[in-house]
Structure 1
Amino acid sequence: MPTPNRREALALAALAGAPGGLVPPVSGAERRKTVVAAENEKPGTSDWQLTYVKFDAKAKYRQSLIEGYCTRTSVAAGEKIAFCVSTDPASAFTIDIYRLGYYGGTGGRLMKSIPGLAGRPQPVPVVGAKRLRECQWEPCATLEVPKDWFSGVYLAKLSATKHRYQSYCTFIVRDDRPADICFQCSTNTWQAYNKWPETHSLYDNDRPDKKPLVSGVRVSFDRPYAKYPQVTDNPLSLGSGEFLLFEFPFAYWLEQHGYDVTYCANEDVHNSLETVTRRKAFLSVGHDEYWSRRQYDNCLEAVRRGVNFGFFSGNSCCFVVPMLESGTKVPNRVIERVGRYGGIRPGEEPWMADLPEEAPNESALIGAQTVTPFNGSGDWTCTKPEHWIFAGTGMKKGDKIPGLVGWEFHGDPAKIAGLEVVAAGTTLTGGEAESHYEATIYSGPKGNTVFNASTIFWSQGLSAPPGHWLPYVHNGRPHGPDARVQGITANLLAKWTG
């Protein structure tokens, strides 16, 4: 086993000395001296969290009292973004914009307040072709993103003055600097599951067979995010897509420890290969199900060029979605499921049909694929403790991290030369149907590596930020921060960024 370098030694020392086996907050001397660390030394606040929400009686995932969306998913400093907000009944409101990070454990930093805005009801769009609900709301405020705003995930908290209710709009600030780590937010998947205003996600259709995974349905980014409808019921994440649920614990942990990280959306990877190749490591985090074909091709080319990849996610790169223009000709504002990467597998037919676009099997990139049954929960079980990713964790063959696998995962490893299975086991659905997963790692052509954690829930083992709720699905749940998850992640990042 190779001798740990300085970063690895620091990570392992933290593991060894942490009470309860958890990595403690690092000291100023140990925290990496990065621009991310400097950003997180600025004053933080926990006031970014929502306090009061109230859902409509009929459209149970929607809060029409105050709701909104941003005109851009991703924006660079110096570019403009607008906020489109509806209040019903009419009410003045304030927008408070926060960048999410560590910030001394508070989780956010107030960047700007825009008070005294006049809110009014804005029209719910009619159902268009392919069940598309596409708002064309009048913007209430436009922001030129200041040049000194650091890359990250930003929440615009909307607070009405006529009543106490609140919600979020969310957007990503990206940059072009050659950071160590690129954190890709799973924005396509956030939108695919968005039911706003009632039953208008990619999983809702009018087919007689009621199959949920079909083509012929479109969703728009020009609408508010409704409450996330399954797996975890966190009403106070309203308007944030899936970021707070499945991605924020990873971002919070990275920024706590000063990793040099920058952020992007799925569409940024679709738009530019350099989004990935100008960084040392690329992270797919949480629930990353919907990829455009160009996004896949860019990522596969980045692996060939030597970028390290971490699929700290599950059900990743499962369905093909083209990035389509809006009704007003704005690019990348509409998606439609048109294909299954690798084609529909035996056993998937009860849920899938009419997915005509062909695409490579996702395992050629990830190292494994979404398997059937593709839902369930289980323990993450070590199979290769001698591998360097387990250095300092104390894990032995057969050791389990309880409940870490779920609710979707990867298995059936690809036939890639040198690919290794580092964890494997079984899962059970709520109906006790058995499935399986394999966590894998393989080497790229330039000494880089591609790691597949094989679970949507990996982030849950890294940290528990303010306001975070653990998911519960298929009669199981992860336990939250775990020293072994932290140690494995630290080992991977040390190798990738050292």
Structure 2
Amino acid sequence: MAPGPEHIRRWESGALAHAVTDPFGQGPVPWLRGSETYFDDTGQVVPWYVDPAPARRPGGEGGPKVPGPRTAPGSASASGVPRSADDVRRQIKGFTSTGAVAPGEAVDFHITVDPPQEFSVDIYRIGHYDGAGAAKITTSPRLAGIVQPPPLTADRTVSCHHWWLSWRLQVPSYWSVGAYVAVLTTADGYRSHIPFTIRDQHPADLLLLLPDVTWQAYNLYPEDGRTGASFYHAWDGNGRLLGEADAATTVSFDRPYAGAGLPLHVGHAYDVIRWAERYGYDLAYADARDLHSGRIDPTRYRGLVFPGHDEYWSTNMRRTVELARDSGTSLVFLSANSLYWQVELGPSPSGVPARLLTCRKRKGPGKSVLWREIDRAEQQLVGIQYAGRVPEPQPLIVRNADHWLWEATGTHEGEGIEGLVAGEADRYFPRTPLPPHEDRILLAHSPYTDHEGVLRHQETSLYRAPSGALVFASGTFAWSPALDRPGHVDPRVQRATANLLDRICKRD
């Protein structure tokens, strides 16, 4: 007798099996709508994106069912259920072998298609776009898809660096810098995604840094019950998911992202981008690896914005950011658990820089450890540091409500902003040194109970460095989604963030 759906292991269903949860996790980013729409078989207009769930219940099992969107005519399954590629059958999966590129440079896509057939690539840019969330920039010609060789594995490191080049996108000189998503679609309607960044050296007020190093640390590709590995998980011979003790110590950028092809936590960055572009902030873009390589000079900007979960930092990344702060460049950490693990970036077997990421987590020889274990605690840069996970969303309790950050937000001392402490939280550690500062203030103090029933608290921090740079840390995963994610938007958080960025950008 065939097992029922409840007996199917999570990886067999193509569902993400990460034990590390994101309370705002969005598989293929169902809120990310482009301007392109299709008519499904019921006559309703639906957006381009793929939702792997045929029905969703907002707010839990008790809520009304919301039909999942369907793909274009001729590309949906017979039942009309959307078809998102998975890591078991790998109907279509891909990655770029280039990091962030500048206008005029090329992005190289390596894509596998099974069974072999034609496919196309739609390129979207993330932004507000009158609420659409993204705009389609271009579409590839019809491309011939092939089944690429299986991933190579060595000591838990999975790499697809041997895949053939599938398509080279020559980025026109007039394209805007920003965060982009390539949407891959096969002739029979399977879809996957590849994120990439277009950066430039032109001056701007703010440099937004996409946390691609942390994204790769969590990447379990291929999530097939056999070969995939991240810094958190790997599989045993029976398809059971193993924990950190058996996980990879080195992961490769030369592979797709698991599941729908978008990184875990990617939505945090996209929330900030949509909000910041809506309100006209002058943004430049780069990846964390650009910080590491020295490809960008952060001192050219008034502020560096870290929009999402940014947990893994190399020595070069930290040194570059510290020098920027000491030169007067402000720092804005809009999530929690930043700068936690020290990592090393190394070349691929063919010598391409920054394609291998190593974090030994106390396993074997090497330098990869917690920053706080080598007397360089994250608090010495961020102002607060990681305290733990938050089992259920809790209110953020405003402190020092007369401070300019809370100006015109309508908040009062001790007021709670519901649901704003969630996912993971930071706080001030009194026994850990603070960074050099002219003044420092805690702008929230929010109690919560951890998984073991112990009462803990979250804090939001702001300090001014001797250089005059401001360093803000929200101390919670939920701050970024409160800027522009449907169902999570909070005008008080939007205004507080605008107060901060306006001061950094010297806006009146």
Q: Output the TM-score relative to the length of structure 2.
A: 0.76
Give 1:481's aligned residue.
489
Q: CA deviation at 1:126?
A: 3.0
Match among 95, 114, 123 for residue 88 of structure 1: 114
One-letter code of the match for 1:340? V
Match among 270, 285, 310 for residue 292 of structure 2: 270
Say whether residues 1:332 and 2:368 are aligned partners.
no
One-letter code of the match for 1:342? W
CA distance in 2, matches of 1:141, 1:330: 19
One-letter code of the match for 2:181? L
One-letter code of the match for 1:312? L
Match among 232, 235, 246 for residue 268 of structure 2: 246
Give 1:382's aligned residue.
398
C-alpha deviations, 1:258-294, integer Å up to 9, x for none? 1111111100111227432111111111211111111
Give 2:345's aligned residue.
323
C-alpha deviations, 1:138-172, integer Å up to 9, x for none? 011112211111110111110110x1111111110
CA distance in 2, matches of 1:74, 1:359: 32
The 1:165/1:288 distance shift into structure 2, 3 A limit, reads same
Say whether residues 1:223 and 2:255 are aligned partners.
yes
Say whether residues 1:49 and 2:49 are aligned partners.
yes
- The residue correspondences of 1:344-493 to structure 2 (distance < 5 A) are 344=373, 358=374, 360-372=376-388, 377-413=393-429, 414-416=433-435, 417=437, 418-430=439-451, 432-464=453-485, 480-493=488-501
Match among 67, 88, 95 for residue 69 of structure 1: 95
Q: CA deviation at 1:55?
A: 5.3
Q: Output the TM-score relative to the length of structure 1.
A: 0.78
Contact 2:463 2:470 in 1 (8 A): yes
CA distance in 1, matches of 2:468, 2:156: 45
- The residue correspondences of 1:91-240 to structure 2 (distance < 5 A) are 91-161=117-187, 163-198=188-223, 199-205=228-234, 212=244, 217-227=249-259, 238-240=260-262
CA distance in 2, matches of 1:213, 1:317: 21
The 1:291/1:189 distance shift into structure 2, 3 A limit, reads same
Contact 1:286 1:457 in 2 (8 A): no
One-letter code of the match for 2:371? G
Contact 1:270 1:292 in 2 (8 A): yes
One-letter code of the match for 1:269? L
The 1:53/1:278 distance shift into structure 2, 3 A limit, reads farther
- Judge which range, 417-426 or 282-291, deviates more: 417-426
One-letter code of the match for 2:191? Q
Query: Aligned with 1:115: secondary structure?
Result: coil
CA distance in 2, matches of 1:443, 1:71: 39
Query: Aligned with 1:127: secondary structure?
Result: strand
Query: Aligned with 1:322: secondary structure?
Result: strand
Contact 1:373 1:433 in 2 (8 A): no
Query: Aligned with 1:291: secondary structure?
Result: strand
Q: CA deviation at 1:329?
A: 1.2
Q: CA deviation at 1:75?
A: 0.8
The 1:102/1:425 distance shift into structure 2, 3 A limit, reads same
- Judge which range, 400-409 or 250-259, deviates more: 400-409
Contact 1:54 1:63 in 2 (8 A): no
Q: CA deviation at 1:309?
A: 0.8
Please give the root-mean-square deviation of Cα atoms over the aligned residues, in Å.
2.5
The 1:374/1:393 distance shift into structure 2, 3 A limit, reads closer
Q: CA deviation at 1:397?
A: 1.2
One-letter code of the match for 1:378? Q
Give 2:19's aligned residue.
none
CA distance in 2, matches of 1:373, 1:255: 30
Q: CA deviation at 1:464?
A: 2.4
CA distance in 2, matches of 1:367, 1:422: 12
Contact 1:440 1:452 in 2 (8 A): yes
In the alignment, structure 2 segments of 5+ residues that lack a partner are 1-33, 38-46, 51-70, 72-81, 237-241, 361-367
Q: CA deviation at 1:435?
A: 3.0
C-alpha deviations, 1:361-397, integer Å up to 9, x for none? 1111100111246766422110110111000011111
CA distance in 2, matches of 1:419, 1:205: 42
Contact 1:268 1:275 in 2 (8 A): no
In the alignment, structure 1 segments of 5+ residues that lack a partner are 1-42, 228-237, 345-357, 466-478
CA distance in 2, matches of 1:91, 1:220: 27
C-alpha deviations, 1:276-335, integer Å up to 9, x for none? 211111111121111111101110111000001111011111111111111221111110
